[in-house]
Copies of this chain bind each other. A is one copy, B any other.
Amino acid sequence: MLIETSIPFRYIFRKIKLDLIRVLIFSITFHIILIFFSSYLPQIPFQLPTVLGTSISLLLAFNVNQAYDRWWEARKVWGAIVNDSRSLIIQLKGFINNEHDLQGNSASILQRMAHRQIAWCYCLGQSLRGNNPITADVENNLSPENVDFIRTQNNKPFALLMLQMDDLKELYETEAINSFQQVQINSTITRLCDSMGKVERINSTVFPVTYRIFIHFFIYLFLIILSLALVETVGWFEIPILTLIASTFFLIEKTAKHMQDPFKNKPTDTAVTAIARTIEINIKQILHRPNVPEPLAPEGFYLM
């Protein structure tokens, strides 16, 4: 997540360097053609780029809006993960029957599940970004057996949720919770499983490819026609004007592209590691643990 401090100019323009160079090339080319072969260029009426500009602006604005919805949906799902992770631990704490607790057994299951929940959040975030999902944060919150187990599994966050389910079953079988409470906690874990599925869906569903290609193609068509229309009226001023206009369109297009895919290990990502840290802080406070960590600090102009 980009934060509201000064974003380096270099970071912004690196993204559209290639497109700008192309635009420069054809705008200079048209200029040269104009000087030498003036009569070969058609006299484009200015209304033509106007109508194309309106069309592409509309498509682009809708596209940004769809990308924004997708980005906001991803953020909402991670918000639900925060809520359900906290709820899971609060519910366990509220439901576990202390009297039936022989030798502090269910108390230790609560601790185990709470730490595994923290590990799950870190693991899911890394896994979505295509990084190694078993980081130090994950290992520190899991027993060595659990770590070994998930190494053998394809979908590691999903394997962790299965372990949560196994512990829930043990709590029920040792009568630390009743059937009614088991079903309620089961619902919470099912919601976590749903949230995981939702972010996996956003991550694995490519935004309709042809749609994006046609918008890109349409921007170029607009810029070429605009360049032809400008070159005859404003002369060499055409080059800086076209470059500025092209920058704006390409920057908006890139913004849409980044919002569409919020788990690509880029500065514009949803801040999943920071969110996992928040969950860790909240859960450790619920359990009155001493070693509550600090919130994640931003890395320069962004927060991961």
Contact = CB atoms under 8 A, between A and B. Distances in A.
A210 B65 contact: no
- The range of chain A's interface size is 35 or more
Nearest to A85: B197
B44 A234 contact: yes
Contact of A210 (B2, B234, B249): B2
Given A65-B66, A154-B292, A46 B49 contact: no
A188 to B, nearest CB: 8
A233 B251 CA distance: 31
Which of A44, A214, A286 has the most CB atoms of chain B within a 10 A radius of its CB?
A214
Copies in the complex: 5
Interface string A122-147: 00000000000000000000000000
Contacts of A80: 194, 197
B183 A186 contact: no
A49 B211 CA distance: 24
Interface string A262-304: 0000001000000000000110011000001000000000000
B197 A252 contact: no
Contacts of A35: none
Contact of A169 (B7, B51, B57, B94): B94
Given A45-B46, A221-B245, A230-B48, A53 B55 contact: yes
Tell me what chain A mostly uses at the interface: helix, strand, loop, or mixed.
helix
Contacts of A155: 281-282, 285
B201 A75 contact: yes
Given A66-B68, A154-B285, A205 B255 contact: no
A244 B268 contact: no
Contacts of A86: 158, 193, 197
A190 to B, nearest CB: 5
Contacts of A34: none
A64 B197 contact: no
Contact of A255 (B12, B179, B181, B211): B211
Nearest to A208: B259
A3 B64 contact: no
Interface string A205-221: 11011110110011001
Contacts of A245: 52, 221
Contact of A214 (B190, B198, B205, B252): B252
B255 A210 contact: yes
Nearest to A70: B72
Contacts of A184: 183, 186-187
A28 interface: no
A112 to B, nearest CB: 16
